[in-house]
Structure 1
Amino acid sequence: MRELREDRRDQARDDRRDDRRDRRQEGRTADQERRIERLEQRIREERREDRADRRDERIDRLRDQRRERRDGDRIIITEGDRTIIREGGRTYIRRDEGLRFRDGSRDWREERRGSETVRISVRPDGSEIYTYVDDDGRLLRRSRRYRGEEVVLIDNRPRGGFRGGAFVPLDLPPPVIEIPREEYIVDADEASYGQIERAFTAPPVRKLERKYTLDEVRYNPPLRESVRSVDLDSITFDTGSWEVRDDQITKLENIGLAMEDAVKKDPKTIFMIEGHTDAVGSDDDNLSLSDRRAESVASVLTKYFNVPAENLTTQGYGEQYLKVKTDGPEERNRRVAIRNITPLLQTSSAD
């Protein structure tokens, strides 16, 4: 009798898993199914081959790299290719995303132009990605040039966000959400491809007064919350590590398909990948981990799902925006959230 109960319990668990997989596949085309099959085979082959070459990337190896200095009212902590800044009761992390474009490029170079530095990534198809940064490494503009035509993807020149290095918050109230919560914050682990696609293509949930810089979007929660998010709570990392493990990549299937198709329809689409942690651990560790994990997810989406690197931007928030208010360990707080922020962004300083 006991064995019968265990068999029934195992069968019920298998049925629930199959039902969940069926829901996730809803809305996929036959071509997308074939792409997923090829992807899964590729992951098995490539990740097995390069396993021996992977670096042991963990946060405790970075702590000794941190250097702290004061600049007026700001505390600046450098950590490898990242900078943690504390000012006015706020803490945020910044990194140079242009370096992420080296992967898969046939050529990469850096030039100094006046007061700006431009990093140029040349893709196998001949297109060129231009990333302009200031002396602090902060993104100013990002564009794509192909066959003589230039498309501006991001214009982050200051317009009320950063002024002289100081962050100025926007006076925006939280949006009023009049749609079902499961459509506003989509659970990627349960959602179908169709549900994720709709979240990425839906208009903002409120009327916007103007277009905004990327920094304004990054550092003003009510502005980011004007567009829907797709939350991935189940992707897990080893403790203190930011590498996306082999068994986690397939959890990005529907997200990757939907993002790839969105960019094909509108090459100017920009997705923000947010990294979040729970409240366990130090603030600096959590901020760095969340930022590096968001970047790792972006790299996986580019490598395995053909989402162009220039159509992605990443930002770590550490424990600042807990989904579940608790100081203890909580899996739902250790998440990645993805938003299509294109409707929010200015593409010129005159927008």
Structure 2
Amino acid sequence: MPAAIQNAPVQPGQINQSDARVQTLQQPVEVRPITQEQGERIREAPRYDLPPDARVVKRDGDRQILSLGAAAVAGAVAGAAAGYFIRSNDDDRLGVDATERYSERLSSGRTRETIVRPNGVEIVTVTNRYGDVVRRSRITPDGRETVLFFDPYSEDQQRPDYYDDPGRDLPPIRLDIPEDRYVVDVAEPDERLYYDTLVAPPVETVERIYSVDEVRRSNRIRDKVRRIDLATVNFDFASASIAQSQVAKLQDLAEAIKRIVDTDPGESFLIEGHTDAVGSNEANLVLSDKRAEAVAAALSQYFDVPAENLVTQGYGEQELKVNTQAENRENRRVTVRRITALVKPVATSSR
């Protein structure tokens, strides 16, 4: 994407217009109300199928580490050498202080889960038969719906195989901006730098809408947007706890995110957890996922960032910042990206 588009100032209230210059959908996407389909209330916890050829190799609470089969080992899905990928359930993080939670069975093996907050706001999430999130919305007491992410292809029987990386056939990323404006290392909290990095549009064309789980699984698709490596918060060895002395270092990031969300409540941010290379791949995936969850929870608990605007994912040791097999504090980090333009149509972009 030309530097002129990348460097153009993004005016308050015009983030969608900036993203629309990059999100060039070939066909219009119709987003129907998330509650339009009639569901059947269920009492039991939802049960999901494993993806084809997948197996659970480790469980840690509500987290599952999946081995995604031969196709994944061949490199079709991001997930380290063994084709491992960790999945967790963010219902508890979203449901803090909820007054009601219920699930409904939809067609095609899908489930709709609703969390009702004390102020009457509802967070509604639809998952497919495998437990992947295909859409999420916030509904206010007056009935207004804000779409957070939406996969328009979730019921398409012709969509690619589960293991296919949607970025596999894309050419290597090409930057027309300096590397340090694409991968931003933040040693000291800086709200202005956080904000300017997060509101910038993707660095290359977004050809279609991706599911949030496709974004989680595909390193190449995540590379379409800038990232912040949060060097202000590091973790102790084998720990996912944020020291109380470091919580305050998240305030500037929280203020930048809230400033964006206040302008457009439908923005989504990916919080990624990472580890160094010490320990097993499975243990590091769990640890990294807990680190991402800890940062997201702190942003909501201490600084009132809406939990539903944050998506978390652990990547273990597969994306080392410092290429070493030794213990390394820089590798024990969290990365933040704004993924809105990847996971839903912006209002003015459909063609």
TM-score over 0.5 (shorter chain): yes
- Asked whether 1:122 is paired with 2:116, we answer yes
Match of 2:256 in 1: 258
Instruction: Report the 3-state secondary structure (helix = DSSP H, G, I; strand = E; otherwise coil) of the residue aligned with 2:302.
Output: helix
Corresponding residue to 2:163 among 166, 178, 183: 166
Looking at structure 2, the residues matched to 321 and 107 of structure 1 have their Cα atoms a distance apart, in angstroms, of 39
Distance 1:83-1:208 versus aligned 2 partners, 3 A rule: same
Change (3 A) 1:340 1:241: same
How many residues are matched?
A: 281
Match of 2:26 in 1: none
Alpha-carbon offset, residue 222 of structure 1: 2.0
Change in Cα spacing, 1:339 to 1:282, as seen in structure 2 (3 Å) is same
Distance in 1, Cα, partners of 2:158 & 2:97 = 32
SS at match of 1:239: coil
Mark the CA change 1:324 to 1:160 in structure 2 (over 3 Å): closer, same or farther.
farther
Are 2:136 and 1:155 equivalent residues in the alignment?
no
Aligned equivalents of 1:294 and 1:193: distance in 2?
20
Decide which structure has greater helix share. 1
For CA contacts below 8 A with separation 6 or more, give which structure has more relative contact order: 2
Task: Tell me which structure has the larger Cα radius of gyration.
Answer: 1
Partner of 1:229: 227
How far apart, CA to CA, are the structure 2 residues paired with 1:224 and 1:142? 19
Partner residue of 1:81 out of 62, 76, 96: 62
Which amino acid is the alignment partner of residue 62 of structure 2?
Answer: D
Residue number in structure 2 paired with 1:31: none
Distance 1:263 1:72, change over 3 A: closer
Report which of the two has the higher share of strand.
1
Counterparts of 1:110 and 1:198 in 2: how far apart (Å)?
38
* Structure 1 residue 91: Cα displacement: 1.6
Are the counterparts in 2 of residues 152 and 347 from structure 1 also a CA contact under 8 Å? no
Task: Give the secondary-structure state (helix, strand or coil) at the position aligned to 1:166.
Answer: coil
Q: Structure 1 287/164 Cα, relative in aligned 2: closer, same or farther at 3 Å?
A: same
Q: Given the alignment, which residue of 252, 264, 267 partners 2:265?
A: 267
Distance 1:183 1:168 in 2: 26
In 2, are the aligned partners of 1:160 and 1:168 still within 8 Å (CA)?
Answer: no
Cα deviation per residue 1:150-180 (whole Å; 9 max; x = unaligned)? 2221124537998564344422233212222
Q: Which amino acid aligns with 1:258?
A: A
1:140 aligns with 2:134: yes
Question: CA 1:190–1:237 in structure 2 vs 1: closer, same or farther (change >3 Å)?
Answer: closer
Gaps of 5+ in 1: 1-69
Partners of 1:273 and 1:264 lie apart in 2 by 19
Distance 1:176-1:166 versus aligned 2 partners, 3 A rule: closer
**What is the aligned partner in structure 1 of residue 327 from structure 2?**
329
For the pair 1:104 / 2:97, whether they are aligned, the reply is: yes
Aligned-pair CA distance for 1:308: 0.8
Do the aligned residues in 2 keep the contact of 1:302 with 1:309 (CA within 8 Å)? yes
- How high is the sequence identity, in percent, across the aligned residues? 40
Alpha-carbon separation, structure 1, partners of 2:145 and 2:291? 31
Amino acid at match of 1:134: N
Cα deviation digits, residues 48-81 of structure 1 (max 9, x gap): xxxxxxxxxxxxxxxxxxxxxx987433224120
Whole-Å separation in 2 of the counterparts to 1:207 and 1:168: 17
**For 1:331 and 1:300, how far apart are their aligned partners in 2?**
20
Whether the 8 Å CA contact 1:162–1:215 is kept in 2: the answer is: no
Offset of residue 98 of structure 1: 2.5
Q: CA deviation at 1:343?
A: 1.3
Q: Which amino acid aligns with 1:109?
A: Y
SS at match of 2:214: helix
| Residues 145-154 or 316-325, more deviating | 145-154
- 1:265 Cα shift? 0.6
**Superposed CA offset, 1:206-226 (max 9, x none):** 222222221221122122111
Structure 1 residues 120 and 71: alpha-carbon distance in aligned structure 2, compared to 1, 3 A threshold: closer
In structure 1, the partner of 2:306 is 308
Distance 1:162 1:304 in 2: 41
Is 2:343 aligned against 1:345?
Answer: yes
Q: Distance in 1 between matches of 2:225 and 2:67?
A: 27
Higher alpha-carbon deviation: 80-89 or 98-107: 98-107
Give the structure-2-normalised TM-score: 0.73
**C-alpha deviations, 1:178-210, integer Å up to 9, x for none?**
222222122222352211110011111122222
For residues 165 and 202 of structure 1, what CA distance do their matches in structure 2 show?
30
CA distance in 2 between partners of 1:167 and 1:105 (Å): 37
User: CA 1:287/1:185 → structure 2, altered by over 3 Å: closer, same or farther?
Assistant: same
The separation in 1 between residues aligned to 2:125 and 2:282, in whole angstroms, is 27
In the alignment, the residues of structure 1 paired with residue 201 and residue 250 of structure 2 have an alpha-carbon distance, to the nearest angstrom, of 23
Further displaced range: 173-182 or 324-333: 173-182
* Unaligned stretches of 5+ residues in structure 2: 1-49, 74-82
Q: 1:126 to 1:106 in 2, by over 3 A?
A: same
Asked if structure 1 preserves the Cα contact closer than 8 Å seen for 2:275 and 2:332, the reply is yes
Q: Which residue of 2 aligns with 1:9?
A: none
